Amino acid sequence: MHWLAWTLLPTLAGHLLAGGQAPPAGDSNPFFQEWKTPFGVPPFGQIQDEHFLPAIKKGIEEQRSEVKAIAADPAAPAFANTIEALDAAGELLEKVTSVFFNLTGAETNDRLQEIAKEAAPLLSALGDDIRLDPQLFARVKAVWESRARLKFSPEQAKLLEETYKSFVRGGANLSPEQQKRLRAMNRELSLLGVRFGQNLLKETNAYKLVIERKEDLAGLPETVVAAAADAAKVAKLPGKWVFTLQAPSIWPFLSYADNRELRRQILTAYTRRCDNGNEFDNKQVLYRIAALRAERARLLGYPTFAHLVLEERMAKEPSQVYGLLNQLWTPALAVARDEAKALEAMIRERGQDFKLEPWDWRYYAEKVKKARYDLDEGQVRQYFPLDNVLKGAFHVANKLYGLTISERTDIPKYHPEVRTFEVKDADGSHLGVFLIDYHPRPGKRGGAWSSRYRGQKIQDGKDIRPVVVNVCNFTRPSAGKPALLNLEEVETLFHEFGHGLHSLLQRIHYAGLSSVPRDFVELPSQIMENWATEPEVLKVYSRHYQTGATIPDELLAKIDKASKFNQGFATVEYLAASLLDMDWHTIASEPSKDTTGFENDALKKIGMLPEIVVRYRSPYFQHIFASGYAAGYYSYIWSEVLDSDAFQAFKEKGLFDPATAQAFRKKILERGGTADAMEMYKSFRGREPSVEPLLEKRGLKRQ
């Protein structure tokens, strides 16, 4: 993690889902040695849990020493000896924390969780010590104030700007007493983020719906039943069936299980996670996080935490976010109401007489979809074996950018299920290493994400190429069948691969400019989803897992006709979560300790349909309370405006038009955070984005 990221440490520490032991002998610690592995990939087989804490402490010590030398440099402050030197500092700490943060998300355990609790405040203190060093800030400020008379390249100017702002936003201009309070808040926030994430992982793993009677499986596809039987064997419950709160288990159950009471039970368990008054309850944790964030923002001179965060995003201020969300909320709610009426009609048509509830929505949506479009997800899955979908994503990268992605068996991996690939550019040159980890495990948090074990940068004139990982929780192989994905999982694979390409194609000089604004970072990922369902692309990779037959045109037509089905529901559950996030982070003073009441009031204010549950309730809203999306969950829809508009450029010129692809690569993907996000977008598209393509795509344009 580059030092500029310490500005966000209380947020990033939420990924430290893991902990430690007695330090080993220094000579045996792999982090203190040069890695002789292919492409310098971490030697996972040599790294033990007990190596992390001593390496983190040594990395902190080394970075303190490096920063102290920069601050005490007798030479006059200059870009090279201050800004560039700061960017290069902390190499060892970057080396160890990149592995630690990634493993605690994808392969955690109790020992790592103890390390997390010890490491979080140490890392928080380091970030504060750098940003609040008056001697160091004086040098940074001197270079900043000399910018008008010195000549910098655009990338140097951007790094200078980001470095200066990180000090100011980190409290460099506060009084000593205010800085003392800021340090205390940052330390507490770092620990609260760890606690929130650990509570959620444990509560999610703790629940099992155990089914003993075969008749209670009625309606479920054969593959789902087989996966539940496999889960039961793992749980040492042979002859039974186990369903969990992991996505590949709960969502098929809610979509197909005829047993309404069991649907109610599992959805209730899901929506009550960390809200049960037990040791994993997150209500007071999230209250404290929200309160400290609000206080921190006020201390730094901002009305609310959202103002502090959004100043660095494309949105710039909360009113812009609310403006977009409200513009979409009204048509989405109207469509969702129409959808609810259709589901209620299906309930009556099937001879039932009860009110539509949240645990009924997915089940009856499947019935309506089948009736309207004759589209059966079970049939669709047969054409999307995981390996084929992966090849489809690689095919798109090849057609767009000329990339070749080849599996390598000599690259270290952190778990047997991980697969490793080398990525080469069109000219055959090495671009990076790509790891994939696609199935749920108890040590892996839920969801899907892309990350880096090593970021790209120029060091001593050499282009250091990245090591990138995609982590997901897809349906597992079962009953002798390969992993068969549904359309949502297909799009998720393409989505995360888009993030991966963003990292793999990056070509910048400074590690401190590797990140882009949160509401821009989803553009490269979400635009990739568009290719996933284009008929021209589907014909390449969607093959029946048994016969190898290409997906038939008839089925493609059904998928296309159903593409806007249930989009009211999908948009409402997402927008409600985005608005809830903004409400939590536009609090000007201390929030209500009644977190449930606050959430209920927020949803009542927008007219949330009782038949739809907000995508993330506050106690398990990890994105905003233990990850990097605080006051930023809106980013997905903001970026969808960008990706829908940007994809129109490809539709206008051709799906794989070389000039358009090269423009997107050169003006967006390669540039990292070296320029203003909107300026980068306009340089590609020639104008600001329009919201119309998004409304059309989601079926929200009222006729």
**Residue 496 is a catalytic residue:** yes
Is the distance from CB of 420 to CB of 405 less than 8 angstroms? no
What does the alpha-carbon distance between residue 275 and residue 22 come to, in Å, rounded to a whole number?
35
Is the distance from CB of 516 to CB of 674 less than 8 angstroms? no
Is the distance from CB of 147 to CB of 210 less than 8 angstroms? no
What's the alpha-carbon Rg for the chain, to the nearest Å?
25
DSSP state of 216: G
Whose tokens are 């795509």? That residue is 697
Q: Tokens in use for 461? A: 């004139």
Task: Specify the DSSP element, H or E, that contains 421.
Answer: strand 419-424
Whose tokens are 């200078």? That residue is 160
Is the distance from CB of 164 to CB of 106 less than 8 angstroms? no
DSSP state of 484: B
Spatial CB neighbours of 71, under 8 Å, sequence gap ≥ 6: 133, 135, 136, 139
Nearest CA among 172, 345, 362 for reference residue 255 = 362
What does the alpha-carbon distance between residue 671 and residue 674 come to, in Å, rounded to a whole number?
6
Task: Specify the DSSP element, H or E, that contains 602.
Answer: helix 595-605
Q: Annotated catalytic residue: which of 203, 496, 522, 573?
A: 496
Rounded to 10°, the helix 358-373/318-349 angle is: 70
What does the alpha-carbon distance between residue 455 and residue 416 come to, in Å, rounded to a whole number?
24
Strands 404-407 and 209-211: unpaired
The residues assigned a catalytic role are 496
